[in-house]
A = this chain, B = another copy of it.
């Protein structure tokens, strides 16, 4: 087990050694560890290696100059100057919150950015301001549109955070596919098959092979097959892609640049970098804040009291599991699997610092 502070200090040093300012390095580190604490290690420490490799081949810019390139009272477009995703995303979300202070809502699209960790982090930034937060991003193409075999969309997540009063906030953060890419890798390592509805082969035939993506296969959108509404998942993934990339002038769909250094830079560009979309809405843009919170408490209590299905003990509100995990791991510490520890030790050696010992 590692404590939050051990890992935070380590990340902070690494990103500063890469050339990031202290403030930027702090924000990046917070997002990495938010993923760990919230039980999403696929977006946590395991990713540091990818970031370091992208930096080594100069495909991310640790010293970006962020610019607002277009704006109205309630909207803006940010050029991330090829920043590490957390830096441009955090800047853009803060801008959305500022816009909302005067206009009631604020909406910011960001281009020329990179992988930014968990979308939920940015949506939750709004909560402290008594605002609803929204965040979306496009991502590396591996998901096929309904009726197609071309991997053209990312797992394109949507995050929405809504403040409550006595109840903890509603925090939804979900990809627009049945499963995250990471689950396929885990199944493959274990030598297991996956249920139908997750992936298809190069012909578009449903497959249970978690390694099918390397054989010309692709992931399916939420819904899984047309009968079960995969075209609705395709609508959602498309909306995320358009809001993130067409709005901002980033690369969309199949042109999103790979967030892994061992994948070649794409030949065709239709915009700048990866795209994100952020929203912030003041709760008192809808009604008196205290009234809003009371109503939201009542909503949460009503749904928490839904009758559980046979074999289930309780009904979960979006965000419950992640919040409980956060409390648990803040006390117990964060565990990191051995192969990732090895990677981190190598990174430490590269930057001539020490990786904390596991105690």
Contacts and interface: CB of A to CB of B under 8 A. Distances in A.
A232 B175 contact: yes
Given A152-B303, A253-B303, A308-B148, A70 B286 contact: yes
Contact of A229 (B102, B109, B146, B179): B179
Given A253-B299, A310-B203, A287 B70 contact: yes
A298 B269 CA distance: 12
Interface of A: 70-75, 77, 102-105, 107, 109, 144-150, 152, 158, 160, 162, 170, 172, 174-179, 195, 197-198, 200, 203-205, 222-224, 227-229, 231-236, 238-239, 241-242, 246-249, 252-254, 270-271, 281-282, 285-287, 292, 295-296, 298-299, 302-303, 306-312, 314-316, 318
> Which 3 pairs, one residue from A and one from B, show the smallest C-beta to C-beta distance?
A204-B309, A72-B104, A172-B235
Contacts of A315: 145-148, 150
B314 A147 contact: yes
A187 to B, nearest CB: 12
Given A149-B308, A195-B228, 5 more contacts: A73-B104, A77-B287, A145-B303, A200-B309, A248-B286
Nearest to A171: B235
Given A72-B282, A147-B316, A204-B312, A229 B296 contact: no
Most chain B beta-carbon neighbours within 10 Å: one of A176, A270, A271, A318: A318
Nearest to A254: B302
A193 to B, nearest CB: 13
B103 A72 contact: yes
Nearest to A195: B227
A232 B270 contact: no
Nearest to A69: B287
Contacts of A105: 72, 74-75, 105, 107
A349 to B, nearest CB: 40
B234 A318 contact: yes
Given A75-B105, A145-B303, A302-B152, A310 B270 contact: no
Contacts of A109: 286
A332 B321 CA distance: 54
B174 A205 contact: no
A73 B75 contact: no
Contacts of A150: 306-307, 315
A170 B104 contact: no
A242 B241 CA distance: 24
